[in-house]
Structure 1
Amino acid sequence: MAGTPTLAVVLDGLSTAGLATGCRHGVPWYVAHLGGHIVAALADPDRPLTDGLADALERVAALHPQCDLGNPGTPSATVAILRHRHGFLDHLVIADSPIVFEGPEGYTVISDLRVDDVLPDLRAEVERHETHTQRHREALQRLVQAQRQVRNTPDGYWVASTSPEAAEHALTGATAIGHVHSAAVLSDGVSRLVTEYEMATWPEVFATLREGGPRELIEAVRKVEATDPTGRRWPRYKSGDDAAVAFCQW
């Protein structure tokens, strides 16, 4: 996660499932550098978010040309960006880290779920097995290996990786700030408390954020996951995914 007083950026590195990436640096290195370069690229408040993301992708790729950037498993991440500019909130979302607006008429969720439309049979196979088992690990590796073949292609889904072209496929838009009381930029490791676990509503999430901040919300997610450590109630890729939240109020 990175940001400034007018910019919030949440990134979530994609799981490698233990498979080779062709990069000696790893996903955490990639996410840290991409976040910093996105903030730098958007220092000009009038620069389109897609241009800033494309520039950041290109610059991070240039940092490690010695790695195999053509490897389909090269480090990559989801991206969610929210910016306050001239009375509007600009947003950009690529992959499944959502942005949620709280307004006078309720809650608006902006999320890119194209990944859910690909390889449903392999996804179902992963969910048939409990986490921390050999069958689960093997099924997850088969899924990730297959996802890599359609990642950043017209027939698949898009993530931030090495090519600036991915920025052109992000979901973008602008919302008048007068229509928004507050907003949350989240990784899917947090949003699943509502979307997958169904153990909270968006009004409850925003109440928690106002009262206890992001840390309390993440703790609530972890408490729920602790009741189902092997994924029997809520089948998933891992017991607990990376969790990040940026809470914005005006």
Structure 2
Amino acid sequence: MHLDVIQSLSIAGDSSKANDDRTGAGHAHAWVIDGATDLGEPGLLGNRGGAAWIAAEADRAFAAAPEDGSIEQTCRMVFEQVAARFTEQRTREPESWEIPSASFLAVAVADNVVDCAWLGDCAALLIRDGEATRIGPQRDIRDDETDLARSVAHHGLGSIKRAAPVLDVLRQARSRPGRQVLGIDPAGAEQIYYSSQPCVAGDELLLMTDGFVAVTDLYRLIDQAALPGLLTNDGLSDIAARLRAAEAEDAECMRWPRFKQGDDATAIWLRVVA
């Protein structure tokens, strides 16, 4: 079995800043990566921010993964390569809150099975005969971040330049031990979640970073059950347009508490082929 790419899309939340998402696909595996937003100025890794750096390095590692390896082997290799590159490229010892990290979700297909691996809040759907089934993390995974944003909303949300109390809260959250993320420690691969589902030729897969899946999970603009029909009729760009329009109408992030007006939004839509 292999994967055909139908469409992919990746748009920055702020066109003046780097897009910290990545997506890609090989013969039988695909991935999305969402670098955790930088909470300080670049410098640890030269002129590039840590979020863009880890997204790019992980993307390169997934792209180089052998097609005949298991998804577990692929993910371990990605963790090892990211860790090695960080050791090579860092300019100094990092503060705990500036250590690069990312969410990711990867899939691989073989022998009528789709294997899924993830850490963080990227999402995926398996679509068959117009019906969408969630694979990977479930939709409530963003609740903690929404609650955190709500707790500091009185300081102002959505601004490019964050208020000092908001930045402090974010740095404290980023520094907490035990975060389950793609990071610079190869041992982090031991925390990866895995699942497997039967698949058949003609099934479709939709992989999304949290900025894209917000259209169903955070904003509830579209019901998950309606996504397959919208994809067929209008594609990813129409869904992204609805997403950005809603965010623009809630520029102060009050209706939907969040730390920036628009997040980087990335999706890849694929078909399983025999």
- TM-score > 0.5 by shorter chain: yes
- Determine if contact 1:76/1:159 at 8 Å carries over to the other structure: yes
- Determine if contact 1:83/1:89 at 8 Å carries over to the other structure: yes
Q: Please, what TM-score do these two structures have when normalized by structure 1?
A: 0.83
Match of 1:170 among 188, 192, 200: 192
For each residue in 1:186-222, what CA deviation from the matched residue of structure 2 results, as whole angstroms up to 9, or x when unmatched? 0100111111111101122222222333223222211
Match of 1:138 among 164, 179, 186: 164
Partner of 2:101: 76
Q: RMSD in angstroms over aligned alpha carbons?
A: 3.0
Query: 1:132: how far off?
Result: 4.3
Query: 1:116: how far off?
Result: 4.8
Matched, 1:88 2:127: no
Partner of 1:9: 31
- Structure 2: give runs of 5+ residues left out of the alignment: 1-22
Query: 1:66: how far off?
Result: 3.4
- Determine if contact 1:21/1:72 at 8 Å carries over to the other structure: no
The structure where strand makes up a greater share of residues is 2
- SS state of the match for residue 66, structure 1? coil
Query: 1:131: how far off?
Result: 2.6
Matched to 1:211, the amino acid is: N
2:175 & 2:159 partners in 1: Cα distance? Answer: 25
Percent identity of paired positions between Structure 1 and Structure 2: 18
Question: Which gives a bigger RCO, structure 1 or 2 (Cα 8 Å, sep 6+)?
Answer: 2
Partner of 2:9: none
Matched, 1:182 2:207: no
- Structure 1: give runs of 5+ residues left out of the alignment: none
Query: 1:242: how far off?
Result: 0.4
- SS state of the match for residue 173, structure 1? strand
Query: 1:42: how far off?
Result: 4.2
Moved over 6 A (4+): 112-115
Partner of 1:225: 247
Judged with a 3 Å threshold, the aligned counterparts in structure 2 of structure 1 residues 203 and 134 are, in CA distance, closer, same or farther, namely closer
1:1-250 to 2 correspondences below 5 Å: 1-18=23-40, 22-24=44-46, 25-26=48-49, 27-46=51-70, 48=72, 49-68=74-93, 71-103=96-128, 106-111=132-137, 116-117=143-144, 122-132=148-158, 137-151=163-177, 153=178, 157-178=179-200, 181-250=203-272
Give the count of matched residue pairs: 245
- SS state of the match for residue 108, structure 1? strand
- SS state of the match for residue 178, structure 1? coil
2:251 & 2:145 partners in 1: Cα distance? Answer: 26
- Determine if contact 2:114/2:198 at 8 Å carries over to the other structure: yes
